[in-house]
Structure 1
């Protein structure tokens, strides 16, 4: 792929960013079936949140083009070949994860609901509202669309020679990372970079290059479309939206306290097997582990998100040992703001003590920092998220809360955040800069 020539000559007006419903993180599909099974009547609201407030997206991303891309996704339907692949493929060693009745609904009954778009103080206000089983899929599509439109705005007006230099530098940077990782033994990496990618074609190039150059150390991609197209493993766990939404549905304090475990019980009942990796930091990892039922220690592993990764890994190992489990038989997946230095540092620290793996996202598929031949930050990645922000309960909308292991990543109404913090505590929660 000659990215420079394509960017220079391409007619973007005929080029849709998302061309398949499978162009999303695999865990969205696993969660979609879970929601469809257990929460068919729940209504939610998802909202776009740009945590990089210094980047005024509404002044960069054209409204007409944004609407055109969003409308295109709403027109997509699951293809027959995609339905066959989902139903017949093996995921995490198990065939038949997706039920025939779910696939039939996804192929024939699923539609993305409408959206609300407006601007305020240089930012796009973008909301999606409706059935949880419909709205949830907007998250990754919306993020990848806005990030690629930001990329296209940065490419506009660049001469072909400048584009050559831009992509040559980005390719050299990727190659340098691969060269540093290649000699490392027992390293397991996967691509988690769909939501903040530079662009679809660049993500595909990165995934193909990683697979070719790192061999078995590159275990797959979270992008379901790329996994299908290139015969790779589709990788994914589950996300904060599950306990966030279940907690918002709680009608009593006791229901709120146990929501984070009730989600896991339902998930295990639904999937079991190799998909038992839990995400503990929705309301703080320390409190989660302290109060977790003993059966949680039998799960395959833990995904670290917003906590200092060394502290999180040591906490998990100590917790496993206190519950009489051997950490060497468990998996820990690091996935927050990773780059090659951090991956190597964590592997040196935890290698041999626990089965460490790395879901490499933004700094794998969107690392164009300093690559522009004339300087500037047009291609620097954003901390852009799309979160469930409200749940309909008793005919009224109720704010949804995520606390995180990082105070700076908390989302929700201020009074509800305060109430949750009083209930769950803040032990082990820190203040840290939000990079991505």
Structure 2
């Protein structure tokens, strides 16, 4: 097992690049990238960094030269032979050759495109512009780099024994969560913590701890590199990005209204089984489900990623019942702001009524709260979103208005088109 504290100490001599592989990313990104390359290869999209917690002044913490060094290193990466073999030959979700030869040939020749970086009012303005299949692959590594550089900045002046004690306490904290989860019968939980992890080495340690502590209850990780290295299932389906970009390209209100369903119709043609998971909250879950075509009710499950999770799960169950489906055979995947206590409570509430599952993110791979003076390692909400497509603004409404993104006038228009009324604002949990 890696001595993380010693490796962190050695970061002062700049070993260990933060992102060491193009597959150090979430599995859903690669699935979506294949779909985008086939359907919209020339669509010009812009992604931008968004720090929802402006009290964390990243540009004051993270050295710009170090950030550029790490981003430039990512641009030098290409798929290795072993990584290509894993993607071409592995079985994902019970399917061999998940990735087509055409996609693999494109990916094997890919180098990530240039980035644009500025500093404004203590924050980094980091943007990526270009063909959608290329720039979309910047999202996860860019977030991982910034989160780990922030961790390294805080840890930089700690001495060897301080670091040893810090990581011993963090390991104990996580293991106590694992012990809490061991009491949950029939638990299904995966690591979703790549984008806001404390570090790559720490995420890898957390995954190993979950695997040993939870056994079959731990179903895999969203991180492709860790899945490959640890012989685990790579977990992930689709994300808000697809409907956001396709909606931005709509010419009329009616096309806008139909965009989320068109995206899933395309997905339906390509994937089956557990890859058919509905993510309904991009433009408001209630309206999405109310107007959804009947064939979507036959999909395997629904992911609840914003708003009140109990309300989201209950809404899904009612929707299936109204359409003659048996909710006990359906998956409800909770993935927003989870920690061990919430996971236990949600499982207890829904067990036997559906198949509750959990994608555990930031508070699995980055819970150092209370372990440093001034809580300087506490996680915060940093995202990288599609902000425009072919010059048109991208919008996300969410089930929590605090997570909405896009220009104010466009948000108002989307709310009108999608019939989204008053929403309850909730604190954004990492």
**More displaced 10-residue stretch of structure 1: 426-435 or 17-26:** 426-435
Residue 386 to residue 45, structure 1, CA distance change in 2 (3 Å): same
Deviation of the 1:428 alpha carbon: 7.3
**Is it true that 1:54 corresponds to 2:77 in the alignment?**
no
Question: How far is the alpha carbon of 1:58 from its aligned partner?
Answer: 0.4
Q: Do structure 1's residue 13 and structure 2's residue 27 form an aligned pair?
A: no
TM-score of the aligned structures, taking structure 2 as reference length: 0.98
CA distance in 1, matches of 2:13, 2:120: 27
Counterpart contact for 1:113–1:135, Cα < 8 Å: yes
For 2:204, the equivalent position in structure 1 comes to 204
Distance in 2, matches of 1:38 and 1:4, equals 45
Instruction: Tell me how far 1:378 sits from its aligned partner.
Output: 1.5
Unmatched 5+ residue regions in structure 2? none
2:107 corresponds to: 106
4+ aligned runs moved over 3 Å, structure 1: 9-12
Q: How much has 1:161 moved relative to structure 2?
A: 2.0
Deviation at 1:81? 1.3
Aligned partner of 1:34 in structure 2 is 35
Paired residue for 1:346? 346
Give the 5 Å matches for 1:149-228.
149-228=149-228
Residues in 2 aligned to 1:274 and 1:37: alpha-carbon distance in whole angstroms:
22
Which moved further from structure 2: 91-100 or 321-330?
91-100
Give me the whole-angstrom Cα distance separating, in 2, the residues matched to 1:359 and 1:103: 27
In structure 1, the residue corresponding to 2:126 is in which secondary structure?
strand
2:428 aligned with 1:430, yes or no?
A: no
**Offset, 1:79:** 1.0
Say whether residues 1:130 and 2:130 are aligned partners.
yes
TM-score, scaled to structure 1: 0.97
Asked if structure 2 preserves the Cα contact closer than 8 Å seen for 1:408 and 1:432, the reply is: yes
Q: Deviations over 1:139-192 (max 9, x none)?
A: 000000000000000111112222122111101101100111112210001000
Structure 2 match to 1:23 = 24
Evaluate the alpha carbon distance shift between residue 113 and residue 340 of structure 1 in structure 2; reply closer, same or farther with a 3 A threshold: same
3-state DSSP class of the match of 2:359? strand
* Alignment deviations for residues 234-279 of structure 1 (CA, whole Å, 9 cap, x no partner): 0002110000000000011111000000000001112223310010
RMSD: 1.0
Is the 8 Å Cα contact of residues 388 and 400 (structure 1) preserved in structure 2? yes
Q: Decide whether the 8 Å contact of 1:287 with 1:427 is kept in 2.
A: no
Instruction: Note if 1:260 corresponds to 2:260.
Output: yes
* Distance in structure 1 (CA, Å) of the matches to 2:140 and 2:260: 23
* CA distance in structure 2 between the aligned counterparts of 1:408 and 1:274, rounded to whole angstroms: 30
CA displacement at 1:225 relative to structure 2:
0.3
CA apart distance, 1:2 = 2.2
Unaligned 5+ segments in structure 1 are none
